[in-house]
Amino acid sequence: MLTAERGRGVDDPIALFVAGARAYPEGAWDNRRFGRLLAEDDGPTGFDALRRQWDRAWVRRNARLLEVDEKRRADRVRARVLTTVIGGAARELSDCGDETEAQEIVDEVCGI
Range from 37-51, 57-71, 89-103 carrying the lowest mean pLDDT: 37-51
Per-residue confidence (pLDDT) for residue 101, from 0 to 100:
93
Q: Domain count of the chain?
A: 1
- Provide mean pLDDT across the span 41-51: 76
CB atoms within 10 A of CB 102: 22
Structural domain boundaries enclosing 53 = 2-111
pLDDT per position as a tens digit, 57-92 = 999 999 999 999 988 999 999 999 999 999 888 888
In the prediction, which pLDDT does 36 show? 64
* pLDDT (average), residues 14-20: 91
Q: What is the pTM of this model?
A: 0.80
